[in-house]
């Protein structure tokens, strides 16, 4: 994985954790996802 892409991922995950979504982050098959039981999209 190129360094810039890896850094962007790290920043995005850190931002989600700072926004209070750390408990909703799941590692699935070497990827990250938001737990649908915790996160609801309203729009």
Domain contains 16: yes
Residue 5 confidence (pLDDT): 93
Q: What is the domain range of residue 25?
A: 3-34
Domain contains 40: no
Nearest C-alpha neighbor of 28 from the set 16, 19, 36: 36
Domain contains 25: yes
CB atoms within 10 A of CB 18: 9
Domain contains 17: yes
Counting Cα atoms < 13 Å in the Cβ hemisphere of 6 gives 3
* 33 three-class SS: strand
pLDDT band at 19 (very low <50, low <70, confident <90, very high): very high
Domain contains 39: no
Report if pTM > 0.85.
no
Is the per-residue pLDDT at 1 higher than 80?
no
Domain contains 19: yes
Residue 9 CB partners (closer than 8 Å, separation 6+): 32
| Structural domains counted in the chain | 1
């Amino acid at each position: 994985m190129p360094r810039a892409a890896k850094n962007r991922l790290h920043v995005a995950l850190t931002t989600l954790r700072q926004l209070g979504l750390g408990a909703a982050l799941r590692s699935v098959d070497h990827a990250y996802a938001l737990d649908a039981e915790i996160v609801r999209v309203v729009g």
